Amino acid sequence: MLAYVIPLCMVMMGIAAALNVYRLIKGPDLPDRVLALDTLYINALAIIVLFGIWLTSDLFFEAALLIAVTGFVSTVALGKHMLHGEIID
Amino acid sequence: MSIWLELIVSALLLIGCTFALIGAIGLFRLQDFFMRLHGPTKSTTLGVGSIIVASMIFFSSRAEGLSFHELLITLFLFITAPVSAHMLARSAMQQKVKLVERTRGTPWE
Amino acid sequence: MTSRWLPHPLLTLFLTVVWVLLTNSLSVGSWLMGAFLGWGIPLLCQDFLLKTPRLRRPALLLRYMLVVLYDIVAANLNVARLVLGPPKNLRPAFVEVPMEIEDEFVLTLLACVVSLTPGTVSSGLSADHKTLLLHGLDVDDSEQMIAQVKNRYEAPLMEIFECSRT
């Protein structure tokens, strides 16, 4: 059953990522684009975890954790940049 | 792997993907920034959390023994999602993004 | 409970569990290493750590977490319905909620909980920590929303943690 469910889930996550990219390109303001990037990294993380289940490999966990941590830090850095015009203040 | 476990994992994966997709649809079609903020902070976080729990159950059911470290990602996502949402909302208020006219109340700054 | 050599017992426990999860093995070695890190890290950076208020009612905290978890699921079903419905019917609003909690840590906790639960995202805190600005996706009655936030999320937190009212 999983052999059918995982490709279906991957298609759904792919559509979600495409919608995020649309907002990333169009997004009228800067916060919209940062929000789209934020959602995009969470979706990429989900796709990596799905891929890990597909290949039954535990190794993808580390990649997912690293993406979660660096993604959050980059969102905070971009938010700081928008608030104050600089990243380190 | 028994059929029941496979059923549970499949159901969790489908639910999670549906929520993540709904979050992305919210980001795609709602009208102003503050409304778009609601999709990713709630739906996507829960959706991805559910996918990761499915992965946890899947790997625990295999021969190598229990595997709970995926729980860390879920925990991390649930802690960080509101923080980044708050940060983005504050910077959006500072940049004075356009609001839909029917929004009641006023943003600060 | 707190002493010079074990300044943050709960943080120690949390770090130990995180280390055991990270190594993904329940062996004695990873528990020992986790306990060592959980003991050493708070000791080394205790000057930077935020002063957290004393936990007064741990059982109530557990119940609160369950309530919040239930609300997160309910909130998602609600947001899904709103997102997929016609966007013209949504009634977005900014609502200012007066805060009674003074402590920074508890305020952060409250803002996170509010962001994850029904239809609201916390989007600002006034400089004097007295008002929290919320954005609701579909607000019917702002008075009712304020009452809900105060009764359902703020009051239990003030009961759980020992903190002064403003």
Is residue A21 situated within a structural domain? yes
| Number of domains making up chain A | 1
Is residue A36 situated within a structural domain? yes
Same domain for C121 and C74? yes
Mind listing the pLDDT tens digit for each residue in C4-28? Answer: 777 778 888 889 999 988 887 788 9
Q: What is the mean pLDDT of residues C33-56?
A: 82
ipTM of the complex in this document: 0.86
Q: Domain residues for A38?
A: 2-84
The shortest C-alpha distance from C148 to chain B (Å) reads 18
CA torsion, ordered B10, B16, B20, B26, to nearest 10 deg:
110
Same domain for C34 and C83? no
Is residue C2 situated within a structural domain? no
Interacting residues of A54 by C-beta distance below 8 A, sequence separation 6+: A6, A10
Residue-level pLDDT at B69:
82
**What are the helix (H) ranges across B30-69?**
33-36, 38, 45-60
Mind listing the pLDDT tens digit for each residue in B61-89? Answer: 886 777 788 888 888 888 898 888 888 88
Is residue C94 situated within a structural domain? yes
The shortest C-alpha distance from A47 to chain B (Å) reads 9
pLDDT over 90 percentage in chain C: 5
Same domain for C147 and C85? yes
- Tokens representing residue C88 in the block: 């013209």
Contact C97, C134 (CB under 8 A): yes
Q: Is B98 on the interface with A (CB under 8 A)?
A: yes
Is residue C51 situated within a structural domain? no
The shortest C-alpha distance from B57 to chain A (Å) reads 10
Phi, psi of C93 (to 5 degrees): -155, 150
B37 neighbourhood in chain C, CB within 8 Å? 121, 123, 135
Neighbour count for residue B109 (Cβ, 10 Å): 8
Tell me which residues of chain A, numbers 36 to 75, contact chain B at a CB-CB cutoff of 8 Å: 36, 38-39, 42-43, 45-46, 49-50, 52-53, 56, 58, 61, 64-65, 68-69, 72, 75
d(CA C80, CA A48) in angstroms, rounded, equals 24
Domain holding C63: CATH number? Answer: 3.30.70
Residue-level pLDDT at A8:
92
Q: How confident is the model at residue A71 (pLDDT cuts 50, 70, 90)?
A: very high
| Number of domains making up chain C | 2
Same domain for C86 and C13? no
Q: What is the mean pLDDT of residues C51-62?
A: 78
Residue-level pLDDT at C1:
47
Q: Domain residues for C34?
A: 9-44
Same domain for C152 and C87? yes
Please, what is the Cα angle at A72 between C48 and A46, to 5 degrees? 140
Closest CA to C138 of B108, B42, B78: B42
Mind listing the pLDDT tens digit for each residue in A27-65? Answer: 788 888 889 999 999 999 999 999 988 888 888 888 888
Q: What is the mean pLDDT of residues A69-78?
A: 91
Is residue C96 situated within a structural domain? yes
